Amino acid sequence: MEQVRRHRLAEQAADLLLARIRSGEWPLGAKLPGETTLAPQLGVGRSTVREAIRELAAKGVLETRQGAGVFVLAHDVREDWDAVLRRAGIVAVVETRIAIESEAAALAAARRTPADLRRIRRALAGRLDPGFGIEELVDADTAFHRAVVVAAHNEILVELFDTVAPRVRQAMVDMLRLRPGGPDHEAHAGLVDAIAAGDAARAAVVSRAHLVSMNEALSAGGARAGTPAESSRTRTRARGSAARSPGARRPPAVP
């Protein structure tokens, strides 16, 4: 029981320290007072202060530097990235994809290998399967975009893409059920041509242009920056509209 009480005391001390950091008492990069100063201020012992500091260091707020002291790294606890994406609106997520993929396209044009280019071209051809339904086409389109990002040879960009892309999948499916059309092959082929030619500037422009087009289509379909990704209400409304649309099974376009 004593350990439980001490742990709770450390949590309370950490909360008090965090509140003071949030208030701006210690700016970013500032050194915190020593344990002997903080302990009486917080009304706890030095060991509890150390536990509180370890807790905030684990959360990315503080950093302990051997022989130098404890310093402020952030004004608040970093929120889980997945939680941020779940709360974010569709348009905001696509804007993030634009930033990731336009840079990845430029890097791919500069760094792609012959094997990368073969994979990108296979993924491009894979988008044209006439037997694809809407969900299969969206997945094939995502595979194409991922192949481009992989060709950038930057593992952080790949990780970001793999985290962000699934958040807009259902919104794209819903959009295509409401607005079917012919496959948008030309824009994607233009991106492949730019990458194959090693034209980084053109690859970035083409990538940005068709993702901006997708963002505009999502906005026109009712997705707003504050609308949570993969809203169940959006899915229900889209399914009902698609069922009523006589052209809902025509080959759709994916930006």
Q: Where in the chain is CATH 1.10.10.10?
A: 2-72
For residues 243-254, average pLDDT: 43
Assign a CATH topology to domain 81-244: Four Helix Bundle (Hemerythrin (Met), subunit A) (1.20.120)
CA atoms of 144 and 58, how far apart (whole Å): 38
Segment 130-146, tens digit of pLDDT: 888 999 999 999 999 99
Alpha-carbon distance of 64 to 2, in angstroms, equals: 27
The pLDDT assigned to 255 comes to 52
pLDDT at 236 over 60: no
- Per-residue pLDDT of 145-159, as tens digits, reads 999 999 999 999 999
- Report the pLDDT value the prediction gives residue 174, as an integer from 0 to 100: 84
- Split at pLDDT 50, 70, 90, the class of 251 is very low
How crowded is the C-beta side of 121, counted as CA atoms within 13 Å?
11
Q: What average pLDDT does the structure give for the chain?
A: 83
pLDDT (mean) for 237-251:
40
Q: Which two tokens stand for residue 38?
A: 């903080």
* Residue ranges of the chain that CATH labels 1.20.120.530: 81-244
CATH code of the domain made up of 2-72: 1.10.10.10
Separation of alpha carbons 192 and 171, rounded Å: 25
Percent of the chain at pLDDT exceeding 90: 56
Give me the pLDDT at residue 231, please: 41
Q: Which residues pair with 62 in a beta bridge?
A: 72
Q: Are 174 and 234 in contact (CB under 8 A)?
A: yes
What pLDDT shows up at residue 221? Answer: 60
Contact 144, 127 (CB under 8 A): yes
**Between the ranges 5-19, 59-73, 81-95, 182-196, where is the mean pLDDT highest?**
59-73
